């Protein structure tokens, strides 16, 4: 069984920064492709950034490219999302997702395991 727990969400002013964490309860974290997705009120869940299981490739949504950085610490079984220069449109619940041997898909349907989400609110 895979359990993912996100943390780090908060209320922040536009232009500020946050770092989200996703702690994974898995035997071999390095075997999982990982992703960050977000869902704003009234909208569908959307891709933010993903990292393949080898850790060699990262992909970002155009809306966050250059501002957000996804990374992982396999020794700590933790995925991170560093978010800089936050904008009000970044306001959403942020979810981490995991897929065994995932190649870094941008599709929510490609991920088997999800966390409960953490709220990020950016005020203008």
Provide mean pLDDT across the span 104-120: 96
Q: What percentage of the chain reaches a pLDDT higher than 70?
A: 100
Structure tokens at 110: 């490609």
Cα 99 to Cα 83: distance, rounded to the nearest angstrom: 23
pLDDT at position 99 over 90: yes
Counting DSSP H helices and E strands in the chain, the numbers are 0, 11
Q: What is the mean pLDDT of the chain?
A: 95
Q: Average of pLDDT values for 94-122? A: 95
pLDDT at 55 over 90: no
């Amino acid at each position: 069984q895979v359990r993912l727990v996100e943390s780090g969400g908060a209320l922040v002013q536009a232009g500020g920064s946050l770092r989200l964490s996703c702690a994974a309860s898995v035997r071999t974290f390095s075997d999982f492709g990982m992703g960050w997705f977000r869902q704003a009120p009234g909208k569908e869940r959307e891709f933010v950034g993903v990292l393949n299981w080898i850790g060699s490739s990262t992909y970002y949504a155009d809306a966050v490219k250059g501002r957000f950085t996804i990374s992982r610490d396999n020794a700590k079984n933790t995925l991170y999302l560093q978010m800089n220069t936050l904008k009000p449109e970044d306001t959403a619940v942020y979810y981490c997702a995991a897929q065994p041997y995932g190649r870094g898909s941008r599709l929510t349907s490609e991920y088997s395991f999800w966390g409960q989400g953490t709220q990020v609110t950016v005020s203008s």
